[in-house]
């Protein structure tokens, strides 16, 4: 079953909107459900790939680590 046209991924709901993330990119929606931003990785990835060696996984890890480092300082 696909949700938001994606085989798998995560929806992170916050106080100002929602971000839907998978290996192909992310989409950001405001509280009314309007897409306000998106990012697409270079090419489509396989939802059956359990290794996670793709550009989107690397990008998300890099962004997360930067955020964690800022919180510590």
Please classify residue 55 by burial: count the beta carbons closer than 10 Å to its beta carbon, then call 0-12 exposed, 13-18 middle and 19+ buried. Answer: middle
**pLDDT tens column, 23-33:** 778 888 999 99
Q: Alpha-carbon distance 14 to 72, whole Å?
A: 22
pLDDT band at residue 59, thresholds of 50, 70 and 90? Answer: confident
Query: Do residues 30 and 17 lie in contact, with contact meaning Cβ atoms separated by under 8 Å?
Result: yes
pLDDT in tens, 4-25: 777 778 888 988 898 888 877 8
- Closest alpha carbon to 12 in 32, 26, 23: 26
Q: pTM of the entire structure?
A: 0.59
The backbone region for 72, taken as left when phi is positive above 0, alpha when psi lies in -120 to 50, beta otherwise, is: alpha
């Amino acid at each position: 079953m696909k949700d938001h046209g994606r085989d798998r991924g995560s929806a992170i709901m916050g106080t100002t909107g929602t971000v839907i993330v998978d290996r192909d990119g992310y989409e950001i929606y405001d509280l009314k459900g309007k897409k306000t931003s998106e990012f697409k990785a270079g090419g489509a990835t396989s939802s059956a790939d359990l290794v996670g060696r793709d550009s989107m996984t690397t990008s998300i890890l890099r962004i997360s680590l930067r955020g964690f480092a800022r919180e510590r300082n």
